[in-house]
Amino acid sequence: MDLNTPLIDIRGVGNALYSKFQILGINTVQDLLTNYPRKYQDYSNVEKIVDLTPGLVTIKGRIESVVSRYSRNRLHITEAVVADDSSKLSLVWFNQPYRANSIVKDSEYYISGEFGLHHQRMSIINPNIELVSDFPVNTARILPIYRETKGLTSVQIRKVIKNLLIYLQDVVESLPAWLIKDYDLYPLAKAIEIIHFPIDSLELKKARERIGFEELFDLSLASALNREQLGHYQAVPIKFDEKLTQELVAKLPFKLTDEQRIAIWQIILDIASDKPMNRLLEGDVGTGKTVAAAVVAAIAANAGFQVALLAPTEILARQHYQTIYQIFNSIGMGNKVGLLTGSMSNSQQKEIKNQIDSSEVDFIIGTHSILGEKINLSRLGLIIIDEQHRFGVKQRQALLNKTDHMPHLLSMTATPIPRSLQLTLFGDLDVSIIKSKPYTKLPIETKIISLNQRSEIYKSFVPKLKNGEQLFIVCPTITDSKVINIRSVEKVYKELSDGVYKDFKVGVLHGKLSSDESEKTMQAFIDNKINVLVATTIIEVGVNIVNATVIAIESPDRFGLAQIHQLRGRVGRNDKQGYCYLLLNENKPPTKRLLALENIYDGFELADLDLELRGPGVIYGTMQHGKIGFDLQIATLTDVPLMLKAKRAADQFILKKEKLLQYVQLNERVKRLRSITTLN
């Protein structure tokens, strides 16, 4: 027998118990040993009976008597009296008739449970009880609490794990010996044993740190290897043109902020290298990311390189084109900028492709389909990607097939990414952050609206709509759910278009519409031909709707804080005050998360809070439109000190030229994480 032995072959695990473990995804010895507790209860402090206070307690005493009986309502009761050298105490079990025969009178036991008042006297109800002479599994120690299912309790899980400890001798160390020594880590087998059966809180802390360190080390190493692989590609250096940059910056309609200047200079230094840039430019809506990218793009285009800006939608591509054309035109380079989209006529597409071939146009703006187009990109020096933070191996290979070098890559996002995720999931990216805005903008006034206020708040928007202002309404789903109580796009659209907004044009936008339908709807909203747009978060990455002053978010608890922060950035884009209303769909007090939105306007602060309260999936999943793809059992992505330690160790691993294939388990985990973090 070994770690791969099915649990059904373990003594004490029958078919019924095995089927319960399978429900939890636990099939083998190794599965169970690496199924770590979700929390602990501390019964390690053994007290005298006379000193007990209400709460969780542990005592050591001799059983003086045991009796069992049925109450009037046929409830079976087992009652025992335990004594130590300080006093006596009553123990009571309900509907556990086997207790009377299993407890040995005059023997010493450890007893753990909830001490309190019951039927006018102090006693311990349904306690765990074990002989002092036995190895205590469920008493007199720090007790692990596991994920459970019907018919499978933590008590049963602990008993099975106790029988598996012998298999820890087969556990293969998954980290190099030097790393364990340098970072003062427990060996893996020892850490696993302590995590299940901790002696004291200090040992438990060290064991959890070992497992948590390894989880974060895996992530850090995956990111570091991705970064190292990118460094093997060759890029063409793009020389800094100081005179051009000064002229362009001077012609801007506003003064650059210090953060914009720093970000621009970081990008300039990156593209001057023969190693491809892989930088993420973060900043809230309105912080001037596009302007910063345009300055660098002008340097590249003027130096004879092609630049491609890839946007998630055609409408956003057109908006970028209008902004960048004006910037380039101010220094006489407007003719260098071209727009290429699928909705353009064949003749228009042919014309722009000819202009690209003849080097008349060097800055091509469009959607990701540009990369698949039959256009000449042999001089492509810089790619700017809006709201897609990953560029996978296949996409890089597609570019290399068009040119003999790897272009520099700049990703832009309005989604604030917590520092801890920057260290791990995004560790292969260099990050520039722009927080301040080049012009004064009023913060979006955010209010939580209770269920009984909903109809009144919708009525209050009518004067704004009559005044030419526009309204976003965001719902978490397209259709109603029979399982959970949430407000859908279809339901809200019908209610409002037939009711309070029947005199206005109400539109619908969601992911099930064709791209052509979506583009037409969004364009009608831009042109103010639609007054109210009921949509899913498809508008999260959106265009500039200057007349949109109000956004109402239905069932806001279904969204992440960073996501709501991005959504409210859709309004208040001009000099008018913007409003965000969070419409509760239940008569319950608002959560701590939602209350934070009324007072916090810093996207990074909200992202950190969201990470702490809801985990990384809500941030990474939102940005990537999918699941996070891995599970941290012990580590948390809010433990930055441990994360920095793991990152330092990963960098050392690479510097020492360690062979990953020597560590089979580590190699398998890192290989999977590399594919997740690069979206291959």
The C-alpha angle with vertex 583 and arms to 577 and 589, in degrees rounded to 5, equals 120
Give the pairing of strands 337-340 and 363-367: parallel
- Among residues of the chain, what percentage have pLDDT more than 90? 51
pLDDT tens figures, 8-45: 999 889 899 999 999 999 999 999 999 999 888 888 88
242-272+286-413, what's its fold? Answer: Rossmann fold (3.40.50)
Is pLDDT above 70 for 621?
no
Give the pairing of strands 88-94 and 108-118: unpaired
* Pairwise pLDDT comparison (180 vs 587), residue with the higher score: 180
Helix (H) or strand (E) holding 460: helix 454-460
Cα 173 to Cα 93: distance, rounded to the nearest angstrom = 44
* Sign of the torsion angle spanned by Cα atoms 408, 411, 416, 419: negative
Cα 222 to Cα 483: distance, rounded to the nearest angstrom = 38
Alpha-helical regions (H) of 432-503: 454-460, 462-466, 489-498
Is pLDDT above 50 for 628?
no
pLDDT tens figures, 472-527: 999 999 988 766 778 899 999 999 999 999 999 999 998 788 878 888 898 899 89
* DSSP structure class, residue 673: H
Residue 225 contacts residue 654 (beta carbons within 8 Å): yes
Residues 6+ apart with CB under 8 A from 573: 285, 286, 544, 545, 546, 548
- Tell me the residue ranges of DSSP E strands in 50-192: 55-70, 76-83, 88-94, 108-118, 121-131, 142-145
Write the CATH number of the domain with boundaries 45-140.
Answer: 2.40.50.140
Is pLDDT above 70 for 620?
no
Q: Average of pLDDT values for 585-599?
A: 88
Is pLDDT above 80 for 652?
yes
Closest CA to 643 of 429, 433, 422: 422
Write out the residue limits of the CATH 2.40.50.140 domain(s) in the chain.
45-140
Write out the residue limits of the CATH 3.40.50.300 domain(s) in the chain.
242-272+286-413, 445-600
For 306, the 3-state DSSP assignment is strand
For 365, the 3-state DSSP assignment is strand
Please report the pLDDT score of residue 676 as a whole number.
Answer: 65
Please report the pLDDT score of residue 439 as a whole number.
Answer: 64
Is pLDDT above 60 for 390?
no
445-600, what's its fold? Answer: Rossmann fold (3.40.50)
Under the banding of pLDDT at 50, 70 and 90, the label for residue 418 is confident
Cα 199 to Cα 211: distance, rounded to the nearest angstrom = 17
* Pairwise pLDDT comparison (567 vs 390), residue with the higher score: 567
Cα 44 to Cα 198: distance, rounded to the nearest angstrom = 10
Question: Across the chain, what does the average pLDDT equal?
Answer: 87
Please report the pLDDT score of residue 183 as a whole number.
Answer: 96
Cα 596 to Cα 582: distance, rounded to the nearest angstrom = 12
pLDDT tens figures, 188-247: 999 999 999 998 889 999 999 999 999 999 989 998 898 888 888 889 999 999 999 999
Residue 640 contacts residue 633 (beta carbons within 8 Å): no
Residue with tokens 């893996």: 188
Q: Average of pLDDT values for 561-575?
A: 82
Q: Average of pLDDT values for 524-551?
A: 85
**Residue 438 in tokens:** 């080049």
Please report the pLDDT score of residue 613 as a whole number.
Answer: 75
Under the banding of pLDDT at 50, 70 and 90, the label for residue 142 is confident
pTM higher than the cut 0.75? no
**Residue 264 in tokens:** 């621009």
Residue 191 contacts residue 207 (beta carbons within 8 Å): yes
Phi, psi dihedrals of residue 246, rounded to the nearest 5°: -60, -40
